[in-house]
Amino acid sequence: MTDQTTDRTASPDHTVDHPAALRVAAASVAARATHARPSARPVDAGYLDELRRQPPVESGLARLPDERTRIGFVIVRDAVNFGSGLHPHLVKLPGLSGARTIGQLLLDRVRRDGVPTPAYLAGLDGRACAEMFGQPTRGPAFTLMTMFATAWNELGAYTGDRFGGEYPALVEEAAGSPTAMVAILAGMPHWRDVSRHGDLDVPFHKRAQLATYGLSLCHDPGGARRFTDLGRLTAFADNLIPHVLIEDGLLEIDAELADSLRAGRPLAHGSPAEVELRAAAVEICERLAHRAAAAGDPVHPVELASLLWKKGQQPRYKARPRPRSVSFAY
């Protein structure tokens, strides 16, 4: 976990194409990786068809009344979509993972009371987060609640200072560009998700890319999508997608990393093995997307990531420990 502070004076550069840089960096990391790499074996012809048959996972967006509320919910939710290394310590809703528990409880709160305002988020603390999510005020779960408070304080200040306290204004600023949306969100230090592998920067920006994809789904029925060129995004590099790819034989890992995962030990954020796992997942989704396009049935890498995430809800994937890390990244 890194110590990050909010710089309220520096404006994000909307012209930076973080996903394009990640696409190049992930391929380079995959080519020189020693701990985790894409498998050399051919992908079964039916694999993409199987992915497309995944049943939907309820996001809750359809249960929110309008586009404005949906936009606020996605941004506020993905501001705290991290901390996988501490999720085993959370008090969870029956049958739900840590991430889905947090998402569901926040959805319930938004449906009841509306989206938390930026001013509210800017002033809350870990105890307020613990109360909202039904968590203890001590131990590892409370550590995560204090991290949530830090992230929400930052989002509240950023939205209030730069966007008049209006979540939709962040989306308007992007002017329909998904890469600009990623850059706007990555203007907050705790959304910045750049790792180092040797001499190479790897700009994953997982939450910024995931939120941008979520925002593309927030339009009212019959309305136009905010972002249409989703092919410019990469897969969002979390911990579940590499896990599914490992279990499906598309991502190979060395014996030491396999032992760590079996033991349920959190990976050090930014360590070579952790960076290689995430980069391999991005590169595999790029290859799958190229294969789908060549077959005349295109699907974007970010959409493949969503399908893999849905596949990861199956019991057989939940039965084995997945990679986890204590960080603001995922």
| pLDDT the model gives residue 12 | 65
pLDDT (tens digit, 0 to 9) for every residue of the chain, 330 residues total?
444 433 443 566 788 999 999 999 999 999 999 999 999 988 887 999 999 998 877 788 999 999 999 999 999 999 999 999 999 999 999 999 999 999 999 999 999 999 999 999 999 999 999 999 999 999 999 999 999 999 999 999 999 999 999 999 999 999 999 999 999 999 999 999 999 999 999 999 999 999 999 999 998 877 777 888 999 999 999 999 999 999 999 999 999 999 999 999 999 999 999 999 999 999 999 999 999 999 999 999 999 999 999 999 999 999 999 999 999 999
Per the rule left: phi > 0, alpha: psi between -120 and 50, beta: everything else, 263 is alpha
User: 3 and 253 in contact (C-beta within 8 Å)?
Assistant: no
- What secondary structure does DSSP assign to 112-158, as a single string? HH-SPPHHHHHH--HHHHHHHHT--SSHHHHHHHHHHHHHHHHHHHH
Query: Angle 324-38-213 (CA atoms, 0-180°, nearest 5)?
Result: 60
* Residues 301, 286: Cα–Cα separation, whole Å: 6
* Residues 129, 126: Cα–Cα separation, whole Å: 5
Q: Where are the domains of the chain?
A: 18-318
The percent of the chain in helix, strand and coil, each rounded to the nearest 5, is 55, 5, 40
Q: What is the largest CA-CA distance in the chain?
A: 53
Closest CA to 153 of 135, 173, 126: 126
Q: Which residue shows structure tokens 């996605």?
A: 74
Beta bridge partners of 252: 37
List Cβ neighbours of 36 (8 Å cut-off, separation of 6 or more): 242, 251, 252, 253, 254, 257, 273, 276, 277, 280
* Residues 30, 278: Cα–Cα separation, whole Å: 10
Q: Which residue shows structure tokens 């987060």?
A: 129
314 DSSP 8-state letter: S
> Token pair for residue 77?
């939710």
